[in-house]
Structure 1
Amino acid sequence: GNFMLAHDYEDFPSDIFTVMMGAGATVTVGDSSTGNQTTYSCTDFLNADMTTKVLISMQIPFAAQQETMMTYKVSERHENAHAYVNASFRMTVDSTLTVTGTPTLAFGGIRAHACRATQTENYLVGKVLSNQNTLTTACNLMASELIPDSGPGDTKYRSQLSVNFFYKFYLSLLPNLPSSLASAATPFERPISTGEINYDTDPIEYPVSEYMPKIDAILQTSGEAHYADDTPVVQGTLYAAFVTSTQASADIESIDPSVALGMPGVVDFVSASDIPGENNVDTNVGVPAAYVEPLFASTSVVYYNQPIGLIVADSQSHADEAAKFVAVKYSNIQTPIVTIQDAINANSFFPEPTPFLSVNTITSGDVETGFSSSDQVFEGVVESPSQYHFHMETHQCVVAPEEDGRLVMHISTQWPASVQSLVSRVLAMPLSRITVGLKRTGGGYGAKILRSGIVGCAASVAAHKLNRPVRLIMNLNQNMEIQGKRHPYLTTYKIGVLNSGKVQALQLMYYSNGGATYDASMGSMNMALTTADNTYYFPNFSASGKCCRTNLPSNTYTRAPGCLP
């Protein structure tokens, strides 16, 4: 698979391919149309036509006597990152430090595909490595023949890396290196990280200020802590997956789950028509009807990947696969409003119908007076982008109906009471018949204050309808696509200063990208406004804001919401 990626995609810097090229590996390719097999070197394989062909095997030769092979790589991170440059070197050197045979110097990240420094290889044949001139000439020759194409990383940096790798390899072949050079030849091994915290406390004040380990520390660091998805699977458990919209702003003409319902393991499709109570998961009071967030969209969609329903099946893989085959037809498809500037141009802002759903203006003094008394007045724009929470535990919920119709739920949330209230509303069920529990949350950072209600309500509707336990464990893709992120902001400013540098007046206008529904937009905006002056005193100050409505998943609280850089 890795070899075929290197064959098909010029921008794929395969470490494995470069290593195998350096090792002198060959690959055998079979032609399904003729039955013939052909063996290629790594270089020839890159140019082979693989139509109707499949890679059958790889042959890696044994190392020869006195042969040394080393590999190198520099990337953004030590793990799980493509290389800026990688290299694989193989060379046979006898007891007199003379190069015997032709060495192999393979590089990735220099050209579109992995390549070899053939001129340098040919030069080194028969050369004595202890001769300083050999090293100098080889490095200069390599620098001249390895001219990097455009790609990730600075071209000069990548060119120097290739020479540096060769220099390290060259030194590793020389015996009795002086200490000043030994570190260049020896791969650096980072020791296991350690750390300690020292507390300056006064025993007289104990238990105040007394050091105590976190209660869950051992369980969490040992991996023994249980989360929602660790709830034991009981007999009859079903697995759910969201069916989401493929348009960002459109009316729904029809929803046809028939193909999905005929797929292996599928039990049911749950939609808005199965909700016994209100199709409403909004946590705010006084939201105008046109802005209410539904659990399942039924007449229109207002963002891409908006939940339309659930596929419930006998396994997670069956549910995930079948969810792709629910056919939804759309009409009145509109160009989505995506950015803050799009919303400003379209005059798309959330109304402020109640004191709890409104934005306060912060003022002190008179900014116009301050500007008129300033020697210099400047204006500009500052933008702060979005940010995904990246909690290790995604949104997830396990709901089980009791024999008397009560529901017991284990959910990853930062606000269990809100989830209970929303489920009560959606199912038209008394709060006393809904138990919401959690042992711990595997990271929230604000994302699980308001957005976990969607997951809890969806799983509850399915469990209530089918009278069976339902697990709704969102994968990372859906967690990023359906749930909101940190609010992006665009702020215009006007500032008046004296020639001495003292600020006379500051006027700020904040615009946030709230997404499709209210969620936490008003609260985050008000927090932004109340912290806008930071620790500074401005004799004349004004900060106001507007929350933009766009066709994105509703953005939500994120750690230190509204506190902008």
Structure 2
Amino acid sequence: MSLKSRAALAHDAARLHVQGRAPYADDLPEIDGTLHAAVGLSEVAHGRLRGLDLAAVAAAPGVAAVIDAKAVPGDPNIGPVFHDEQVFAADRIEYAGQALFAVAAATQAQARRAALLGKAKVTKLKPVLDVEEALAKKSYVVADELLPVIENGWSEETLRAAPHVLSGRQLCGAQEHFYLEGQVAVAQPQEDGRMLIHSSTQNPSEIQHTLAAVLGRPISAIEVRVRRIGGGFGGKETQGCQTAAIAAILAQRTGRPVKLRLPRAVDFVLTGKRHPFLLDYRVGCDDEGRILAADFMVAADCGFSADLSLSILDRAVYHVDNAYHLPCMRVRGFPCKTNKASNTAFRGFGGPQGTLLVERAIEDVARRLGLDPLDVRRRNLYQGRQQRAHYRQKVRDNILPELVERLERDSRYRKRKEAVAAFNAGSELVKKGIALTPVKFGICFMVTFLNQGGALLNVYRDGTVACNHGGTEMGQGLFIKVAQVVAKTLGLSVDRVSCEATSTAKIPNTSATAASSGTDLNGKAAEDAALRLRERLAGLAAELSGDRAEDIVFRDNRVRAPSRSWSFAELVERAYLARLPLAAAGFYRTPKIGSDPLTRIGRPYLYYAYGAAVSEVAVDVLTGEHRLLQVDILHDVGDSINPAVDIGQIEGGYVQGLGWLTTEEMGWDAEGRMLATGPAVYKIPAAGDVPAKFTVRLWPEANREDTIGRSKAVGEPPLLLAISAWAALADAVASARGDGGMVRLDAPATPERVLTAINASAAEAPVQKVRAKRGRERQMTK
């Protein structure tokens, strides 16, 4: 039975999810005496902290403890890479919403009311709130020598000598993770100064290591458990450390369990977002749109500290080529420091921002030359399997030309393009747009040592199997996929394998469940453990039957030798009586990868995931309001372990990308205070934003690399497919303007920005023409 034959299995907790019976960290029964915590926040974006008056906080009803920067028992630093962020602001305030102190009280309401009573003495300083200002001041979160620059055959002369030279600027905004379950941690003191933490995190080991330092304890004295989290999207890769640290410090100080759950509005202002980017390009091309030279600049708004910004910027720099072979190219990256919350990982990890830049350049080239953008894209695609990316990795598994051609044909792109043009010719108030965009997304952590995973399998006497691994389940279906891997390897039905809560006491030194690597790493580690158990049991079966071990078959919950067979449970019982170990540890490290951390040259990725999407939109030219009419996707997941889960990830990734590019707008006032702190003013896509015609098909080819079951990662790459919706909006804007000019459509492409783009023509704007015509019609009817 192959992995592929297991096909579309439901998420292992799907029934519990829809019934509301799946427990999350906030649902755990509270131990008697549990305290609740709340955080006091800064109201200014930048200033010197001269002192805190917390007397009223301490005297408030129910309060058991109040802590600030002076109360941290160990190392106050919680920055994951650089020590540039602390649990609480000590002497300098860096953003509005920064944690100044925390309070623990008998009830959640008492703690939150008490947190409002703290008073900070602050000397205000002028904040830097704009990435362009930070770039001009050369204000970065890391040293200049760490800034990424990659040149591949770069020549300024080649650029200037091209028949056509274009330049442009693109902005793309921040995005709130908006996980359904906010940041939450429960700290439970244990004997001898040990601490158990239940945390909503993608990165249990990061929580463990950080808390050990903050509390001044050995790493082994901290256990972090995660059964499931209600969405992460990167926002819980590093930024759960602060919530967990505050709960743990209060628990250590009081000797009582402490729960800290951030209210949605506090979560909004305290934690970081997807990095906004300022993107510049210069390209030179020939008359058919082939790009002969390209010069790219990507500047990330990192917020006040580094967090993971340098790696995120690196991925933007790596993905600025997207699906296109650019033989003469330079790309420079700048991690800009501003007085905002420290921005962090978000699904795609910089890849979407880098990809958006080259797609904008492609769009502009097509419009300058009067060509269909798809034709320009196809002429620039990677061809064959020997061409190298700008960081010198060969694109050995390239399927882009075939994949794009198939989607173009199956989606009827050319006929729909003609139909859109015909519709627009007869419609003044509504214009349609259509676009097909491809995706090439590299899979692996770019920091090489993170590409490792571990697993532990325990087989019980009734033949059931429990699996622990280092990945966390956040709704993406990791646990059911790993269970399928184990079941297939041992010849069991999936219902006989369970994946248990992730625990640092079971699997140490884990990498975050991020970079789309959860199944690749943990599935391989679990398979390794299962193969060790199978070899052990096959040896016993050979001994009992007199047959050769290599002739033993594990299938359909049975173990078959040529001369006899047993149920899996029967053979396991025999193994127990023979005193054979029925537990095995597995491990996996990704092969073939490695790149220079300073030059960024090498092979950062084991393989690429590919895809393409066609999006069709309609735009009201008077208001800029728009609607997504149809989406067709063809995406590459290799030999899918679970097509139902993969298709769900593709759909969800596209829709989340759609929100980033069209509706999810964040803003700050002149004092650096965030303007959107909840769903009333921050619009994520809802069911009504998804078109009735939404088709997802999987590319029918296994991964050429030896991944788990020859599958491919599916978490992040589909988000970039939504760039086709942004490009379709630009197509509609170009039709509305009718001047043949290039379109600058910053993201998110809200109705206001779409309307601004429509009216950006040097010629008389179509909106003005339509309004003038309406005015004449009204005069005639009077």
- TM-score, normalised to structure 2, is 0.44
Residue number in structure 2 paired with 1:278: 75
- Code of the residue aligned with 2:103 in structure 1: it is I
Instruction: Provide the secondary structure at the position in 1 that maps to 2:21.
Output: coil
Q: Distance in 1 between matches of 2:316 and 2:127?
A: 26
Residue number in structure 1 paired with 2:109: 317
Kindly state the Cα deviation for residue 480 of structure 1 after the two structures are TM-superposed. Answer: 0.5
Q: Distance in 1 between matches of 2:36 and 2:278?
A: 41
Given that 2:142 and 2:306 are in contact with CA atoms closer than 8 Å, whether structure 1 keeps it comes out as: no
Instruction: Provide the secondary structure at the position in 1 that maps to 2:312.
Output: helix
Kindly state the Cα deviation for residue 244 of structure 1 after the two structures are TM-superposed. Answer: 1.1
Instruction: Provide the secondary structure at the position in 2 that maps to 1:214.
Output: coil
Given that 2:135 and 2:334 are in contact with CA atoms closer than 8 Å, whether structure 1 keeps it comes out as: no
Q: Write out per-residue CA displacement over residues 327-365 of structure 1, whole angstroms, 9 at most, x where no aligned residue.
A: 11012x2111111112123321123378xxx34322221
Residue among 134, 147, 161 paired with 1:343: 134
- Code of the residue aligned with 1:270 in structure 2: it is I
Q: Write out per-residue CA displacement over residues 14-68 of structure 1, whole angstroms, 9 at most, x where no aligned residue.
A: xxxxxxxxxxxxxxxxxxxxxxxxxxxxxxxxxxxxxxxxxxxxxxxxxxxxxxx
Larger helix fraction of residues:
2
Kindly state the Cα deviation for residue 540 of structure 1 after the two structures are TM-superposed. Answer: 0.8
1:347-358 map, 5 Å: 347-352=138-143, 358=146
Residue number in structure 1 paired with 2:194: 406
Residue number in structure 2 paired with 1:449: 237
Kindly state the Cα deviation for residue 228 of structure 1 after the two structures are TM-superposed. Answer: 0.4
Residue number in structure 1 paired with 2:273: 485
Residue number in structure 2 paired with 1:115: none
Q: Write out per-residue CA displacement over residues 483-537 of structure 1, whole angstroms, 9 at most, x where no aligned residue.
A: 0000000011111122333221110011000001000110110000111011111
Instruction: Provide the secondary structure at the position in 1 that maps to 2:348.
Output: coil
Residue number in structure 1 paired with 2:11: 214
- Code of the residue aligned with 1:280 in structure 2: it is N
Q: Distance in 1 between matches of 2:26 and 2:152?
A: 51
Kindly state the Cα deviation for residue 220 of structure 1 after the two structures are TM-superposed. Answer: 1.3
- The 1:206–1:503 alpha-carbon spacing in structure 2 relative to 1, beyond 3 Å, is closer
Kindly state the Cα deviation for residue 209 of structure 1 after the two structures are TM-superposed. Answer: 4.1
Instruction: Provide the secondary structure at the position in 1 that maps to 2:193.
Output: coil
Kindly state the Cα deviation for residue 206 of structure 1 after the two structures are TM-superposed. Answer: 5.3
1:436 and 2:228 are equivalent in the alignment? no
1:470 and 2:258 are equivalent in the alignment? yes
Residue number in structure 2 paired with 1:382: 170
Q: Distance in 1 between matches of 2:177 and 2:189?
A: 31
Residue among 97, 101, 108 paired with 1:305: 97
1:539 and 2:327 are equivalent in the alignment? yes
Q: Distance in 1 between matches of 2:86 and 2:286?
A: 53
Instruction: Provide the secondary structure at the position in 2 that maps to 1:322.
Output: helix
- Code of the residue aligned with 2:247 in structure 1: it is A
Residue number in structure 2 paired with 1:223: 20
Instruction: Provide the secondary structure at the position in 2 that maps to 1:424.
Output: helix
Q: Distance in 1 between matches of 2:254 and 2:144?
A: 39
- The 1:390–1:377 alpha-carbon spacing in structure 2 relative to 1, beyond 3 Å, is same
Q: Distance in 2 between matches of 1:560 and 1:370?
A: 32
Percent identity, aligned pairs only? 30
Q: Distance in 1 between matches of 2:193 and 2:29?
A: 20
Given that 2:35 and 2:106 are in contact with CA atoms closer than 8 Å, whether structure 1 keeps it comes out as: yes
1:257-276 map, 5 Å: 257-276=54-73
Kindly state the Cα deviation for residue 405 of structure 1 after the two structures are TM-superposed. Answer: 2.0
Q: Distance in 1 between matches of 2:67 and 2:3?
A: 56
1:75-154 map, 5 Å: none
- The 1:361–1:345 alpha-carbon spacing in structure 2 relative to 1, beyond 3 Å, is closer
- Code of the residue aligned with 1:336 in structure 2: it is P
Q: Distance in 1 between matches of 2:27 and 2:63?
A: 23
Residue number in structure 1 paired with 2:601: none
Residue number in structure 2 paired with 1:550: 338
Residue among 238, 241, 264 paired with 2:35: 238
Kindly state the Cα deviation for residue 325 of structure 1 after the two structures are TM-superposed. Answer: 0.8
Q: CA RMSD in A?
A: 1.5
- Code of the residue aligned with 2:27 in structure 1: it is D
Kindly state the Cα deviation for residue 392 of structure 1 after the two structures are TM-superposed. Answer: 0.2
| Structure 2: runs of 5+ lacking an equivalent | 357-782
Given that 2:67 and 2:101 are in contact with CA atoms closer than 8 Å, whether structure 1 keeps it comes out as: yes
Q: Distance in 2 between matches of 1:430 and 1:218?
A: 39
Residue number in structure 2 paired with 1:161: none
Runs of 4+ residues over 6 Å off in structure 1: none
Given that 2:233 and 2:347 are in contact with CA atoms closer than 8 Å, whether structure 1 keeps it comes out as: yes
Q: Distance in 2 between matches of 1:406 and 1:206?
A: 42
Kindly state the Cα deviation for residue 208 of structure 1 after the two structures are TM-superposed. Answer: 4.7
Given that 1:493 and 1:509 are in contact with CA atoms closer than 8 Å, whether structure 2 keeps it comes out as: yes
Q: Distance in 2 between matches of 1:516 and 1:392?
A: 26
Q: Distance in 1 between matches of 2:318 and 2:192?
A: 49
- Code of the residue aligned with 2:59 in structure 1: it is G
Given that 2:169 and 2:281 are in contact with CA atoms closer than 8 Å, whether structure 1 keeps it comes out as: yes
- The 1:310–1:210 alpha-carbon spacing in structure 2 relative to 1, beyond 3 Å, is same
Q: Distance in 2 between matches of 1:299 and 1:478?
A: 22
Residue number in structure 2 paired with 1:371: 159
Residue number in structure 2 paired with 1:18: none
Question: Which piece of structure 1 moves more, 516-525 or 363-372?
Answer: 363-372
Residue number in structure 1 paired with 2:481: none
- Code of the residue aligned with 1:447 in structure 2: it is G
Residue number in structure 1 paired with 2:387: none
Instruction: Provide the secondary structure at the position in 2 that maps to 1:532.
Output: helix
- The 1:209–1:531 alpha-carbon spacing in structure 2 relative to 1, beyond 3 Å, is farther
How many aligned residue pairs are there? 353
